[in-house]
A and B are shown apart, each in its own frame.
Chain A
């Protein structure tokens, strides 16, 4: 219950800040980037952090969601059209995840990374050559539906669903694959099935992130979804901690804020950004959160202890 009150509070505060113009249009774009990156990072974390499958294909899944949503909403520029676009984008990405996952998930480690990287490049090249995606010129004038409310619904929804999933028996099955695939298989876990499931769920979420991107930034071109986009997501996941959803969220927010702040130093922006990453990785090689999660009870415990201390010191003073 407390969880939902906290979520509602975050939504209300930001909504009020937007309505009173305390959050500028520029910062709103940062908010959308944060939301998209959170969805991408938590879903890649399911594949890489929880199930232990090293994937470099997230940009590919994202681009499928983005293009499908863009094409649907350009033909149906209404709210139902937008919802349909996001749903179809997620479904298309999930189907792709299944088709790619089934053959490639027999590979392990580096080999899987290379296979998924190749898949992602193939998708990019296909979009570059299709007529319906307008090739290299890209799609312009995609209707904008994403606002703070929609962004919040999709981001929080994805995080909640995934955090429920990893706490379930199916989630534990995925985690056991990361821990020891042979032991998991010997304990009755169908490892191939669960790897494919994790891949499909991760791909569907990446599709949603892509759909949000298309529906906020008006414009899509295939080169937005290159290899570097996948690496960006991987950086967030590793920085936040493999196997920590709250770590992914924290890292997505932190990196977006750092990157926004560094806009004031355009010449050395990427140098500083990389330096920060290197420093964090030296001092927290397991990522900001390791594999732990932040929960609300931590905050309430902190608060309670402080109150209790104050109460005691007051009593002592009397």
Chain B
């Protein structure tokens, strides 16, 4: 049963169809890649899935615990609370807050105390805050960031900031995780390490993952299925081997064969 099913979704900006007529299904537990040349509409599709943009037409359904939840027209925070979290291509951490605060904010929806408790710091405050602190530090351990919990996010290295983005998304307790270019700007060793960790996270948190990536070694190595977008349209899908040899994909990336032109 697909955890996410996108049917004939279209989004146009002015006259330009950034995403047109895209349908895709993601099965629970899968690790799916979304690739395509620059400007193909990958991030726009992510923004449609997470509610930042509203599709012009088409439907997006999330199925969690056998319940189908239509995501069209729902605000982003609500989509996140339903179990769909994301990272951003252009890192969007809370840069002037500490590493720990970044994670705590993402856990906000789990807090069990009201406004009155937060004004008066009633006993529930201390109990809940300690629980959150404990859980946050557990998450930060994934990428060895627990030692840097009191540093400002802006002072982390680029790779660490990408890691923190993933941890922050995990802190919202998602079922489906969307990663927008998690390996951008990383060297091959860092990318290899990231691949291991993505696989590990998926097992440990019982996640379904959809990721956008330009690093083909990463995509071909860890993704079970791949969707390829070009000019807003879905041009191919299948296993890494199928996609690798697909003629339209090669054309999209390398241009048409001279003989055909």
B52 within 8 A of A: yes
Q: Are B80 and A187 in contact (CB under 8 A)?
A: yes
- Once the chains are docked, how many angstroms separate the CA of A185 from the CA of B78? 8
B120 within 8 A of A: yes
Interface residue tally on B, bucketed by range:
35 or more
Q: Are A173 and B96 in contact (CB under 8 A)?
A: no
- Interface of chain B, helix or strand or loop or mixed? helix
Q: Which residues of A contact B125 (CB under 8 A)?
A: 168
- Interface of chain A, helix or strand or loop or mixed? helix
- Once the chains are docked, how many angstroms separate the CA of A311 from the CA of B113? 47
Quick one: CB contact mask for A222-259 with B, threshold 8 Å, 1 for yes? 00000000000000000000000000000000000000
Which of B105, B120, B125 has the most C-beta atoms of chain A within 10 angstroms of its own C-beta? B105
Quick one: CB contact mask for B83-115 with A, threshold 8 Å, 1 for yes? 001101000111111000100111111010101
Q: Which residues of A contact B97 (CB under 8 A)?
A: 175-176, 179
Residues of A in contact (CB 8 Å), total: 26
Q: Which residues of B contact A190 (CB under 8 A)?
A: 75, 77-78
Q: Are B132 and A187 in contact (CB under 8 A)?
A: no
Q: Are B106 and A169 in contact (CB under 8 A)?
A: no
Q: Are B88 and A170 in contact (CB under 8 A)?
A: no
Q: Which residues of B contact A165 (CB under 8 A)?
A: 115, 118-119
Within the complex, which residue of A168, A184, A189, A191 is in contact with B118, where a contact is CB–CB below 8 Å? Answer: A168
- Once the chains are docked, how many angstroms separate the CA of A184 from the CA of B97? 13
Q: Are A187 and B96 in contact (CB under 8 A)?
A: no
A161 within 8 A of B: yes
Quick one: CB contact mask for A164-185 with B, threshold 8 Å, 1 for yes? 1101111111011001101111
Interface residues of B (CB under 8 A from A): 50, 52, 75-78, 80-81, 85-86, 88, 92-97, 101, 104-109, 111, 113, 115, 117-121, 125, 128-129, 132, 168-169, 171-172
* Closest 7 A/B residue pairs (Cβ): A168-B118, A179-B94, A188-B80, A183-B92, A169-B111, A185-B76, A187-B106
